[in-house]
Structure 1
Amino acid sequence: MQIYKTFLAGLIAAFVLVLGTAAAPALAATPAEQYITDNVQKGMGILNNTQLSKDQRKTEFQGFLLSLTDISAIGRYTLGQYRRTASPEDLTAFEAAFKDYALAVYQSYFAKYSGQSLKVTGSTPLSADETVVKSVTVDPKKPSAKPFEVQFRVQNNGGKMVVVDFSVEGVWIRELERNDFTSYLGQHNGDVKALTAMLKQKAAQTK
């Protein structure tokens, strides 16, 4: 599933760049921008804490990812129209598999993108409760390389902010994932159990 592999690469690049780098707090002019900036610093603290064992760092990092993103909502969204026809039991199993898979992939890839710098450049409100935070990334090891844009879709859910989507160079990852999953389901008679089994298998392989 080439589109799926492309999605993973883009997602991890975008996600880890914001977690593994520092941004200037002074740039955060809105609550959503401040939220992204603060979490950059928090992610850095976990990843660079040498007093933690590997397992402790993994556990704390997973907890951090779960607090930053609404993985359950993202997972439900990726099912598209097939969510309406899936049983409650199948949906519950899928969400659990999706969460485990996403966390396994983040853990596997985050180290590959450490050392990048990220700069919050502004934000665009989509509604009273949703904002797109814009940023650019630069590799300090390659100062001549062209920076690319990463955007974060931040929702304010009753005072709690969460990231619900990412884009790399204008391509929104959640949409790519839904296209890939619904394509898979279309080829497997809408069998959410089959998709869940596939995610479990890939999570195990990644771990």
Structure 2
Amino acid sequence: MKHLIRSALAASVLLASAMPAFADARTEAYVQKNASEVLKSLNNPELSAAQRTAAFSAYMDKFTNLDAVSNFVIGKYSRRFTEAELTRYRKAFRAYALAVYEYQLDAYRGETVVVKNSVDRSETDSIVNTVIKRQDGKDMDVRWRVQGKEGSYQVVDVALNLDGNLIWLAIEQRAQFIALLDNNNGSADKLIKKIDSMTADLKAKKRS
């Protein structure tokens, strides 16, 4: 795990150093609106736990480009899997990614998202820096990587400050998944089995 964190931190440092320093109010507004709605979906007292998860997943499906993320995290193997394997993998990955986001953000359900600033990497690629405020003072820094043009923005990675380390989730997953595939002759079945197990573990830890 430590080497994954080091890899993710190194990648995030390189990512940050490559960014030109100018802001994009449009992507900031996009993240402000949608991130707030995502957190609000976790806090509806009229919904059951299953209904909240369904609402959260529906928001995240619109807010994030999970197909792009799923391809990124397996790198070269996205071109080596058969169509059937890729379909099964994407289904498993979607369930896992949504479980990760829900588990990490659930402690901040209903809280306020405040946009601090943003930096454009290109005309279609921005990093929006936010903080999720909590009444107990345990705020969390969250960075959202947004790609696309106005009217078609989607998030392709999220960085959370976990235990003092800023971790880009897709970068960390990429290191883990590619290592597993490299060690198992590129077996889609073994990767999917591992992803399903990780998803089940996260769901078992989820708040009611």
Shorter chain as denominator, the TM-score bin is: 0.7 to 0.9
Offset, 1:78: 0.5
Q: What's the secondary structure of 1:85's corresponding residue?
A: coil
Residues in 2 aligned to 1:86 and 1:44: alpha-carbon distance in whole angstroms: 35
Aligned to 2:30: 35
Equivalent in 155, 159, 171 of residue 167 of structure 1: 159
Equivalent in 50, 54, 65 of residue 49 of structure 2: 54
Aligned to 1:18: none
Aligned length: 184
Once the two structures are superposed, residues 50-70 of structure 1 have per-residue CA deviations (whole angstroms, 9 ceiling, x without a partner) of: 222333222111111111111
Aligned to 2:179: 183
- Matched to 2:29, the amino acid is Q
Contact 1:3 1:180 in 2 (8 A): no
Equivalent in 148, 152, 158 of residue 156 of structure 1: 148
Structure-2-length-normalised TM-score: 0.74
Offset, 1:137: 4.7
Mark the runs of 5 or more structure 1 residues left unpaired by the alignment: 11-27
Distance change >3 Å, CA 184–CA 93, structure 1 → 2: same
Residues in 1 aligned to 2:63 and 2:79: alpha-carbon distance in whole angstroms: 27
- Matched to 1:165, the amino acid is D
Contact 1:166 1:173 in 2 (8 A): yes
Once the two structures are superposed, residues 130-168 of structure 1 have per-residue CA deviations (whole angstroms, 9 ceiling, x without a partner) of: 11112245554247xxx6643211012573111001224
- 1:123 to 2:118 alignment: yes
Alignment of 1:95-114 (within 5 A): 95-114=90-109
Contact 2:43 2:109 in 1 (8 A): no
**Percent pairwise identity:** 28
Offset, 1:41: 2.8
Equivalent in 57, 64, 70 of residue 69 of structure 1: 64
Offset, 1:118: 4.0
Residues in 2 aligned to 1:40 and 1:96: alpha-carbon distance in whole angstroms: 23
- 1:199 to 2:160 alignment: no
Q: Which moved more, 1:117-126 or 1:100-109?
A: 100-109
Q: What is the RMSD of the two structures over their aligned residues, measured on CA atoms?
A: 3.0
Contact 1:105 1:206 in 2 (8 A): yes
Q: What's the secondary structure of 2:45's corresponding residue?
A: coil
Once the two structures are superposed, residues 171-199 of structure 1 have per-residue CA deviations (whole angstroms, 9 ceiling, x without a partner) of: 43322211111111111111122101111
